[in-house]
Structure formats: structure tokens, C-alpha cells
């Protein structure tokens, strides 16, 4: 940073790459997630909705990759920049400007954080210190048209990160982004969005070849999949979730119930490595693509929260989501005869690609079945159906063999590069020879 230079904070947030987060103290630590509809938790979960007039059960999840990305491109971004004005320009040579930069740039906001995550609280410190709090400071500067952002409850609209204030709220979010209106009592805060934090062990990130959380649901999504293609969510009939419910189901319900209890349509989920944004309409939950450290997470979070606090009539000018498409659901997905709990695997994105785009028969496997264990009668296939299925399986095997062959070749090439760089390096050999000659 050069003293006396003017910095466009928006440009800084777009370019900056947050530092790598702390490793967990153990690969098995802090892996649990809350099962909010378990029998012992259900009474607490119901309390939060006693004051809510209309409570909708989660019915559909729509993977909308560009939900936040649409705000950072084209006319939508031009609209936001005009709306933001010149409030986010900091002079590094002035005390107020330099102070704002050090409270916003990850180089300084991460400097005093724990180097190892011993619990979810350490992950929370990283998420709020590096991502949420700097964005909230930017929101203040935008509203007051200056990076000084001096708080006056009588004249200024004020943004802050708060804990929940209602002891009946369950499940409890890790944080709330709230705003207070000028001239209003501080207790009359408006909740802009909920923030839920999970450790990387509880919500696996997609890195180093690992399959991240929610990846099984959205894997295979391409530009050919129509915007708004929905996935079906099923509850257990007795509204008590079994202990075997997968992590994704528990996290989705936790985020959904927090949004309902806080009476907000916006939510942020993060393990610091990745940030996922959610938007709620009726019984439908929209989910963005995961935003990594190289995807401008601070700028995406700023755009998301700024749109969240806009009045609905202004918000719809830049923030648009497609209507959920459910006409592609199969009879099994609609009836849920296998009593699936959570997102039905027959409505995963790869099933849409296989059945609607490639024309292949459905290939999903129901991993969790709640209810009867009685054997079902096996229905034999007709001769032409067997031939068609055999041909499809032959093509699938051919594709798998080709893919495995390519992976083997790539692995061998990587092995040669590592071997050459470490064991057969000419410079290393020359250095060893020189050392041996001296001895």
C-alpha cells in the first residue's frame, strides 16, 4: 500500500484473495451438525414459529449458480456502482482512509486470528473478522458516503453484526446482520440476513480432489440445465428426522429454520474456505454456487447484503431469480415411495442431465430408506429392454475406461515431474557432486 494513494475499495475487494484459513487440530474434530427435528429438539424448534403467521415447510431447493454473480456483471453492477457512489474511496495518506483500509483488507483483519482451529468458535472468528465485519464496514461507508462512517443514531442508518435477541429462536444462528433506522430505538433492529458457520470438517470444502458438501446434489449441472430446475425435499412422515440424516440435509434445514425464525429471506453459510448464499421465497430455497477465496468472496458478500437490505421494489430491479421448475420430476420423486428424507436423489442435477439431456435411464441409488424393510417383488425386463440397457451400460463402461486411462496417464506425468524436480534435478545433482568433492 502506497501512502497518499487513493484506493477504490470495490476494486480492492474484487482483487484481494483472503489468506488460507487455519487447519483443524484433527481431521475428526468438530464434525457434528445439529439435527433440529430430532425428538428432543422439536419442541424448541416449534417455539420459534409461534409468532410467525405463515410458516412454509421446505419443499424445493433450486441451485442457481449465478444468484450473486449476476450482481457483479453488466447492468446490475453498473446499477450498484451508481447506487454506492463515491463512498468507498480511501486515501491511504489520511488517518481515516488508512484506518478503513486496515479494517477491511484481509492482510490486517486476519493478523490476530488463531493459527489452528480447535473448535467452531475459531472458524467463526475467521469468518466474521475477514469476511462479514469488513463488508459491514463497507455498508456503513456506502450509506454515509464516506469511509469515516461516524455513527449517529438520529441521522445515520447503521449496520452491525449482532447475536440473536429472542431466547425462543431455535436453531440459534451464529450471527445476524442487522440495521437500525435513523431516529428509531436501537431495539427496533431490522434483520438483513442470518449467518451460519460450520467447520471445514463439518461442511467439507471442495479441494484437493475431495467432494465438497452439496456437491453430490449439484454435480453435473451445466449451462444446458434450464435456470430454476428444482430439487425435491422430503420430510419424514412423523416430522422426526432419523439419526442417519446426512450432513447436507441437516445444514439445509438449519439454515431454513433460522431464516424463518429471523423473518428474513437472505442467509450466508460459510466454513471460511467457501461461502454459499441462500435466498428464500415461499417454500423454495435458492442456493448459489460456492464462492472460494479466488472468487472475490468479500465483494460477493457485499453485493448480496446490500441487495438484501434494499426495499423490495428496488431489489427486484437488479436481483432476479427464476421460477422453480418441477415438471421434470419422475413419479418416484413425486410420490417418494422409498421414503427418502432430505433431497431426493432422483432430483439431483446429474439425474436431469442423464434423463433429459443425454436420454439415459435413471441411475440414482437411494442410500437412506425410512420405514418398511419388506422385500419388493423384482419385475423382469423385456428382451428389448435388456438389450437397450446392455448397450447403455456398455457405453458407460467405455467412458469410464477412457476416463480412468486419462487419469492414469496424468498421474504418471505428474509423478515424472515430481521425480525430475526432486530427485533428478541437474542443479541438485551438481550441488551434491560439489559437496562430495569438498569432502
How does pLDDT run across 221-247, given as a tens digit for each residue? 888 899 999 999 998 765 555 545 788
Element at 351 (helix H, strand E): helix 349-352
Global pTM reads 0.77
To the nearest 10°, report the CA torsion of 171, 175, 177, 183.
90
CB 181 within 8 A of CB 128: no
Beta bridge partners of residue 196, listed in sequence order = 269
235 Cβ neighbours under 8 A, 6+ residues apart: 37, 57, 58, 341
E-strand spans in 214-265? 230-234
Task: Look at 306 and 157; give whichever has higher pLDDT.
Answer: 306
Question: pLDDT (tens digit, 9 = 90+) per residue, 7-66?
Answer: 889 999 999 999 998 888 887 777 767 666 665 555 555 554 444 444 578 999 999 999
The total number of residues shown for the chain amounts to 439
CA-based nearest residue to 284, from 316, 322, 254:
322
- Report whether pLDDT(68) > 90: yes
The grid coordinates of residue 433 equal 557432486
Is 114 contained in some domain? yes
Do the Cβ atoms of 137 and 104 come closer than 8 Å? yes
- Grouping H, G, I as helix, E, B as strand and the rest as coil, residue 219 is coil
Query: Is the preceding omega at residue 171 within 30 degrees of 0, hence cis?
Result: yes
Task: Determine the Cα–Cα distance for residues 287 and 196; give it in Å rounded to an integer.
Answer: 14
- Whether residue 105 is contained in a domain is answered as yes
* Number of alpha carbons in the 13 Å side-chain half-sphere of residue 93: 5
Residue 425 lies in a domain: no
* Domain count across the chain: 1
Would residue 261 count as lying in a domain?
A: yes
The Cα 435–Cα 439 span in angstroms is: 6
pLDDT digit string, tens, across residues 383-409: 555 565 566 566 666 656 666 666 555
Q: What domain range includes position 189?
A: 6-211+243-315
Residue 5's pLDDT band (cuts 50, 70, 90):
confident
Any domain includes 84 = yes
State the average pLDDT for the chain: 79
For residue 6, the model assigns a pLDDT of 84
Residue 186 near residue 213, CB atoms below 8 Å: no
* 360 vs 213: which has the higher pLDDT: 213
Torsion angle (degrees, nearest 10) of CA 95, 97, 102, 103: 110
407 inside domain: no
Amino acid at each position: 500500500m502506497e501512502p497518499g494513494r487513493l484506493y477504490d475499495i470495490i476494486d480492492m475487494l474484487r482483487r484481494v484473495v483472503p489468506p488460507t484459513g487455519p487447519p483443524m487440530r484433527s481431521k475428526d474434530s468438530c464434525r457434528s451438525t445439529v439435527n433440529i427435528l430430532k425428538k428432543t429438539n422439536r419442541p424448541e424448534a416449534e417455539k420459534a414459529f409461534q409468532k410467525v403467521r405463515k410458516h412454509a415447510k421446505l419443499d424445493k431447493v433450486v441451485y442457481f449458480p449465478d444468484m450473486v454473480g449476476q450482481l457483479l456483471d453488466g447492468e446490475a453492477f453498473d446499477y450498484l456502482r451508481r447506487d454506492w457512489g463515491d463512498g468507498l474511496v480511501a486515501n491511504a495518506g489520511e488517518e481515516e482512509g488508512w484506518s478503513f483500509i486496515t479494517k477491511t483488507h484481509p492482510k490486517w483483519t486476519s493478523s490476530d486470528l488463531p493459527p489452528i482451529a480447535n473448535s467452531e468458535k475459531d472458524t467463526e472468528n475467521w469468518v466474521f473478522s475477514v469476511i462479514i465485519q469488513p463488508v459491514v464496514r463497507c455498508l456503513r461507508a456506502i450509506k454515509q458516503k464516506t469511509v469515516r462512517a461516524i455513527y449517529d443514531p438520529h441521522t445515520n442508518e447503521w449496520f452491525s453484526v449482532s447475536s440473536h435477541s429472542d431466547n425462543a429462536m431455535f436453531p440459534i444462528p451464529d450471527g445476524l446482520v442487522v440495521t437500525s433506522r435513523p431516529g428509531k430505538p436501537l431495539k427496533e433492529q431490522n434483520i438483513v440476513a442470518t449467518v451460519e458457520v460450520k467447520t471445514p470438517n463439518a461442511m467439507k470444502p471442495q479441494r484437493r480432489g475431495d467432494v465438497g458438501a452439496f456437491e453430490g446434489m449439484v454435480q453435473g449441472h451445466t449451462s444446458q440445465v434450464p435456470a430454476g430446475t428444482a430439487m425435491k425435499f422430503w420430510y419424514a412422515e412423523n416430522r422426526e428426522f432419523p439419526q442417519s440424516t446426512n450432513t447436507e440435509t441437516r445444514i439445509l434445514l438449519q439454515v431454513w429454520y433460522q431464516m424463518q425464525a429471523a423473518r428474513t429471506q437472505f442467509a450466508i453459510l460459510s466454513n471460511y474456505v467457501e461461502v454459499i448464499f441462500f435466498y428464500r421465497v415461499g417454500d423454495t430455497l435458492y442456493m448459489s454456487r460456492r464462492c472460494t477465496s479466488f472468487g472475490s468472496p468479500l465483494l460477493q458478500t457485499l453485493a448480496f447484503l446490500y441487495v438484501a437490505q434494499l426495499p423490495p421494489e428496488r431489489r427486484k430491479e437488479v436481483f432476479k431469480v427464476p421460477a422453480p421448475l418441477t415438471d421434470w420430476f419422475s413419479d418416484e420423486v413425486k410420490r417418494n415411495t422409498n421414503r427418502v428424507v432430505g433431497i431426493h436423489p432422483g432430483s439431483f442435477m446429474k439425474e436431469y442431465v442423464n434423463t433429459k439431456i443425454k436420454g439415459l435411464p435413471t441411475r440414482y441409488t437411494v442410500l437412506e430408506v425410512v420405514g418398511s424393510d419388506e422385500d419388493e417383488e423384482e419385475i423382469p425386463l423385456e428382451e428389448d429392454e435388456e438389450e437397450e440397457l446392455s448397450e447403455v451400460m456398455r457405453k458407460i463402461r467405455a467412458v469410464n475406461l477412457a476416463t480412468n486411462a486419462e487419469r492414469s496417464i496424468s498421474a504418471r506425468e505428474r509423478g515424472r515431474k515430481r521425480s525430475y524436480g526432486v530427485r533428478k534435478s541437474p542443479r541438485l545433482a551438481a550441488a551434491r557432486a560439489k559437496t562430495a568433492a569438498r569432502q
